[in-house]
Amino acid sequence: MANSRLQGKTPGRIETPFYAINDTGFPKTGLSRIETPFYVVDEALLEKNLRVLSYVKKKTGCKILLALKGFAMHSTFPLIKKHLDGVCASSPHEARLGKEKFGKEVHAFAPAYSENDIRGLLKTCDHIVFNSFAQWKKYRKKLKGKVEAGIRINPEYAEVETEIYNPCAPNSRMGVTLKNFDETELQGISGLHFHALCEQNSDTLERVLKAAEEKFGKYFSKMKWVNFGGGHHITRKDYDVEKLCKLIIDFKKKYGVQVILEPGEAVALNVGFLVSSVLDVINNGMDIAIMDTSAETHMPDTLAMPYRPYIIGSGNPGEKKYTYRLGGLTCLSGDVIGDYSFDKKLEIGTRLAFTDMAIYSMVKNTTFNGVKLPSVVLVKKGGKAKVVRKFGYEDYKNRLS
Ligand SMILES: Cc1ncc(COP(=O)(O)O)c(C=O)c1O
């Protein structure tokens, strides 16, 4: 989730001129003919991010996995797997998707596994990371040396201000703290894993690494790999890629281990949009546009973080001539995306494009109120748009009984 999400700022990098809204909708592509709402992902932008990640891999020899929790649009996997080493999964379903559709390495981590989870993961995973020594001891015999095992450690240091996104907050359930680290149970453990970043630059990683090394450094050289988790905003314009490379190279040299990164956001940062139309404009103390989308169902992080997504061509309230509150389709009174201003009046049918909607929005959306899910559109490298998935009544019904 872009720093824009945490800090409510406008992202600086919008590089698709053909997405710009004008009176005729979207010129150059077939997007203006596609029924809204839809998420649209641009392969050329995705590839641009992947080239940055490939550079890091090449320069450092680290492995980079796609975190499926952040981006799981599998029609793009043929492109992603040309660059990345595999996926990291948070559940047997994600792991199965990774195995079936990505087909390279599958790593898993969850705060706890049931017997059933482990049965499923054993069919699909190369690495399973445990969140406690109790879980490791419970399942280690089942792994039979066929799957590499890891322990998630908690370095008890993070610089994440939003509490629900801070894995190292006091009393966090994420990872084993030094106090609970049982060095007598490391037989069969080939790696350690930590995740303590959220949309952060490599200077924060440097400080997190320092904390992790101070606490767990003596165990690192006993391992085959150390996984630095996700939250590295590597493809953001101001990200210091060279510092990241240096940190990885130095770490590998110092401890003689493989380094693994598992970003979600950095893979698909700024490569997707949610396109929506105005259904009605009403007034209650201010102009309110009701969209054919919803914060609650189609962009849930706008309420969870909360943050105000950027809309192409928009300004802050009052900055441009016409100011509107944009509201969603559900019964939730707070289903409000935010207040925006525009140069032109919003009319019924005006299309608006919300930026940076490939990550987390697509995997977290819901059908609350029976609201239809947005279609999924892929813009191929030549600029041709293809609807890869449409959703309907069956998708809503099949989630229920
Ligand atoms: C264990 C773990 N790995 C990777 C990620 C991916 O993080 P991001 O999408 O911020 O890069 C997360 C995100 O919550 C995570 O919890």
Q: What is the pLDDT of residues 248-271, one digit of tens each?
A: 999 999 999 999 999 999 999 999
Tell me the C-alpha to C-alpha distance, in Å, between residue 365 and each of 359, 361, 396: 11, 6, 12
Residue 284 Cα to ligand 1 middle (Å): 41
Under the banding of pLDDT at 50, 70 and 90, the label for residue 29 is low
Atom 15 of ligand 1 has which residue's CA nearest to it? 230
Residues with CB under 6 A from ligand 1: 67, 69-70, 88, 109, 195, 198, 229-231, 262-266
Average pLDDT over residues 82-91: 98
- Rounded to an integer, the average pLDDT of 303-309 is 92
What value does the mean pLDDT take over residues 27-48?
Answer: 84
What is the structure's pLDDT at 382?
Answer: 78
* pTM for this entry: 0.94
* 57-66, 161-170, 279-288, range with the lowest pLDDT: 161-170
So what's the pLDDT on residue 28?
Answer: 45
Mean pLDDT, range 266-288, rounded to an integer: 96
Which residues neighbour 243 within 8 Å (Cβ) at sequence distance 6 or greater?
A: 202, 203, 206
Mutate to test the pocket of ligand 1, among 1, 65, 69 (most ligand atoms within 8 A of CB): 69
**Residue 345: is its pLDDT beyond 50?**
yes
| Cα–Cα nearest to 187, from 143, 247, 122, 231 | 143
Distance 388 CA to ligand 1 centre (A): 26
Give the lowest-confidence range in 12-16, 260-264, 292-296. Answer: 12-16
The residue whose C-alpha atom lies closest to atom 4 belonging to ligand 1 is 230
Give the residue whose CA is nearest to atom 7 of ligand 1: 230
Question: pLDDT at residue 114 above 50?
Answer: yes
Q: How far is the CA of 264 from the centre of ligand 1 (A)?
A: 6
Higher pLDDT, 18 or 334: 334
Q: Using the predicted structure, report yes or no on whether residue 4 has a pLDDT greater than 80.
A: no
- pLDDT at residue 8 above 70? no
**Tokens found for residue 81:** 């797997």
**Average pLDDT value over all residues in the chain:** 92
What counts of helices (H) and strands (E) characterise the chain?
Answer: 13, 16
Q: What is the secondary structure of 63-129 as a DSSP string?
A: EEEEETTT---GGGHHHHTTT--EEEESSHHHHHHIIIII-SEEEEE-S---HHHHHHHHHH-SEEE
Residue 101: pLDDT band with limits 50, 70, 90? very high
Say whether pLDDT at 229 is over 70: yes
Counting every residue written for the chain, the total comes to 401
What is the whole-number distance in angstroms between the Cα of residue 184 and the centre of ligand 1? 29
